[in-house]
Each structure stands twice: as C-alpha cells, then as structure tokens.
Amino acid sequence: MEKKFDVVVIGGGAGGMCAAALLAHAGLKVLLTEKRRYLGGRFSTVDHDGFQCAAGGIAVQVNGQLESVCQEIGVESGVNPVTSAAYWIAGEYHEIPLEGGSLRATIKALADSEDEAARVSAAVSDAFRWLPPSDAITFREWLDQYTSNERIHGIFQATIASLLTVNADELPAAEYFNLIKAIAPLRFGYVEGGSLRLWERMADFIKQRGGEVWTRCAVAKIAVEQGRVSGVICRKGGTDVRINAPVIVSDTGPERTVELAGSTHFERSHLARLQTDLTPTTIFWLHFASEALLVDYSAIAVCGARRVNMLDVPSMECPGVAPPGQHLYTAGAAPLRQGEPLDVAAEMDLILADLRDIIPEFDSRCRVLSKSCFRGKWPGYRTKPGSPYPVRTPIRGLYNVGDACGPRGYAGSIGAAYSAKLARDDILASASQ
C-alpha cells in the first residue's frame, strides 16, 4: 500500500501535534502517525479510578507558546489559569501574588537582614537588566556569591527544579535568567478534563483541514534518497505502508530520528552531539486524591524539602479532572543528581516523607493513585536545559521537533511548541524558494 502527503509528522507529543496543526493550518496535507493508542506523548492524560491524571506534563504556560499555537489555528486550549499559588517553606505558606513582583518580596521575607535582601535583589535585578552571568558556573555558585541563606536558595531551587527538571547546582547560571526572561510573566494553568482533550481538539482540526491522524502506527523507517527525505515506512493494522512525502517532521527525539533514517546519512558532527549533548533528565511523579481539600493553593512551589519541588492541585481549577466531591494532587520531584544511578523505591519513600511534612495526616486523609519515574528513553526532558538541538537536520526535508529543540530559555512543552513554530517557518520558507 502506498500513500502520498505533503508532510508526515512522526509522533503525537506536544511538538508533533503543534507542528502537524500549524502545517495543516498553512494548507499542507499532513499525516500524523503516533505509535501509542493515545496522543500527547509525555503531556497526556490517563484515567486512574475516575481521576484524569497527567501522564507527564501538567502545567501549560498561560499565553505561552502552546496557547499561541492554539490561538493561531483557532483551537480552544481549554487552559484554566491557576488562581492561587504559594511557596511552601518549612511548613509555612508564602503567597505568590498573581500580578507578579513576588520574588523581591519573598527574598525580603526570608532574608536574615535588610542588607542581605537588598544584596540578593540587586544581583538578580542586575543579571536581568544589565548583564546575565555566563555558563561557566552553575546557578547555585552564582547565588552563593550573594547569600548562603538556604531559605533563599530554596525558592530558586524549587523554581529551577520544577520548571527545568535539574537542580540549581546542575544548571548553567545563565539558563535561569534565559528561562525567566523567555516566559515572564510566570503564569500557568491546567487543561480542563486533562491535557489529552487539547490534543484531541488539535487532531480534529488536522482532519478538518484534510489531514489524517493515525494512532497505534509506528514509523519503522525514514526513507532517504540522495541526501533528501522521500517518505516513511510505517506499520498500520499489521501491514507495512509506504508514505511518500518531501518533508518529514520527527517528534521522536534527535537520537531516534537518526536511528529511523540510518546514521550513515548524517554528517559526523551531528552524530557526535548525540553523545555529548543529549542528556535526558529524570522526573518523579506521584498522584494522590482526597475527599476534603487539604491545601489552600492550586500551585505550590515546595522549597527545602527532600525531593518534592512542586505540588499541583488541578482539580481546584479544573473540576472535571476528579470525580465529584474529590480532589486530585500531583507531586513532582527530581533526584539530587541527574544522570546518576537511582534507587527508585528509595526516592519514592523520600517523596512520601515530604508529602507527610506538607500535608497533615497524609496517610489517613490521602489515597495514592499512581507513582511513576520518567527517565532514559521516556524522560522528564529529552536533554538538560541549555544545549538545544536545531530543528533542521543534515538531511534535506527532515526536521526534529520536541523538547530537545526549544531555543534556550524555552523548556518542556513551551520549548516543544516553539520548536514546532520554527520547523513550520523553515518548511514554508524553503517551499517558497
């Protein structure tokens, strides 16, 4: 069986869905193939006992890259913004004002003296407004110059670990400032009913525009002829299907893209980067439920805990994610050292110990729904923040999208959506040349 499309998008994660929808919106005939039975990849939803739990990413930046793709193509994002947020620091909540300006106030509240507060705030302000630090030191080393106050370190660590999945002592110093500049004002929300609903709306849009979306359909090979892509071979319903297309967009990650096309087609420096720069990160995720609402904020940045860095309560903003009269919570955590061997059970015990500190009577009032560890080939982020891949590959017509390809400062689903825009722009510009 043979078919023909203008573009084949391999993988229905955030980057692939956005690329397919944007290219369909531009008038191209698009096929999106996804090997799993569901769309969304590491930003989807699974049903646990009536709770719509995040199978990966949960928080969408309000008015960020993903919402801007939705606005451009006219598809509802369904994002309900967080209406109450706080830092949790040693058992106390410090509210984060939604209109911004919270960082200076929080530093002031946590500092041991007015001098310390002024010194740290001035350093942060200079790095934003005059000159950011370089990548030669880590963020932790940068902040150590101005304070050794662990409570102040804790608020930066919670922000970095929850948004960038690495710890402050693993992050190139410049990347914190890149991130905050790129995504300010820092406001997030959750998709009503779960993120999968958004991908289903995008899939409907692609089909309305004459495209096709095939789930349970893995691409086995990207065909390359004379340095150009010519199509893919995928397995659909037990049959091998050859799809001819002059443009292929891969959301499978740069490493898998090379495997699918065959490494002999890639020039050597591209292959060398896979060894040096592709460093996937680990995230732990624990969903739990309660009948009574046990916290006052729907987004809590957890500072100074053993492992937990974020606690989201999506049911406070999106009642559709939990059965009536129940609440859904998602705790996110990162290991102390990315890239080192892990005892997953021991890490989960530390996460539970944190939750017992944060939520009084956790064991009697909460029910754990699921625990997961994202790492390796199904990671938190496909690469550590700070060394993104270009969307172009050395093979003409072959593009990468996804969270390895977001420009510096744009992480997670934000980077994945941005990479889709970059690929779309390049594909349309190349077609018009």
Ligand X SMILES: Cc1cc2nc3c(=O)[nH]c(=O)nc-3n(C[C@H](O)[C@H](O)[C@H](O)COP(=O)(O)OP(=O)(O)OC[C@H]3O[C@@H](n4cnc5c(N)ncnc54)[C@H](O)[C@@H]3O)c2cc1C
Q: CA 54 → CA 48, 111, 123, 233, 259, distances in Å? A: 10, 36, 37, 31, 29
Q: Any idea what the Cα angle at residue 280 is, between residues 236 and 227, rounded to 5°?
A: 55
Q: Shortest gap between Cβ of 158 and ligand X (angstroms)?
A: 14
Q: Shortest gap between Cβ of 126 and ligand X (angstroms)?
A: 28
Distance CA 389, CA 271 (A): 12
Looking at beta carbons, which residue is closest to ligand X?
13
Residue 59 vs 160, nearer CB to ligand X: 59
Distance CA 334, CA 164 (A): 10
Q: b/e per residue, 33-66, with b = 16+ CB within 10 A?
A: bbbbebbbbbbbbbeeeebbbbbbbbbbbbbbbb
Residue 327 vs 375, nearer CB to ligand X: 375
List contacts with ligand X (CB under 6 A).
10-16, 33-36, 41-43, 56-59, 218-219, 251-252, 256, 283, 285, 332, 374, 380-382, 402-403, 412-414, 416
Residue 16 vs 304, nearer CB to ligand X: 16
Q: Shortest gap between Cβ of 166 and ligand X (angstroms)?
A: 13
Q: Shortest gap between Cβ of 291 and ligand X (angstroms)?
A: 25
Is residue 198 a contact partner of residue 12, using CB atoms and an 8 Å limit? no
Amino acid residing at 231: G
Q: Shortest gap between Cβ of 146 and ligand X (angstroms)?
A: 29
Q: Shortest gap between Cβ of 82 and ligand X (angstroms)?
A: 11
Torsion, CA 281, CA 341, CA 284, CA 199, rounded to 10: 40
Q: What is the DSSP secondary-structure string of 234-282?
A: EEETTEEEEEE-SEEEE-S-HHHHHHHH-GGGS-HHHHHHHHHH-----
Q: State CA 417 to chain mean position distance.
A: 10
Amino acid residing at 119: R
Residue 142 vs 418, nearer CB to ligand X: 418
How, if at all, do strands 43-48 and 51-56 pair?
A: antiparallel
Q: For residue 54, give every residue at least 6 positions away whose Cβ sits within 8 Å of its Cβ, in sequence order, or none.
A: 43, 44, 45, 194, 195, 285, 287, 314, 330
Q: Shortest gap between Cβ of 66 and ligand X (angstroms)?
A: 8
Torsion, CA 287, CA 288, CA 289, CA 293, rounded to 10: -100
Q: Shortest gap between Cβ of 59 and ligand X (angstroms)?
A: 4
Q: Shortest gap between Cβ of 35 and ligand X (angstroms)?
A: 4
Residue 59 vs 352, nearer CB to ligand X: 59
Q: Shortest gap between Cβ of 372 and ligand X (angstroms)?
A: 7
Q: Ramachandran region of residue 238, left (φ > 0), alpha (ψ -120 to 50) or beta? A: left
Distance CA 366, CA 300 (A): 17
Amino acid residing at 168: A
Indicate the SS3 state at residue 379: coil
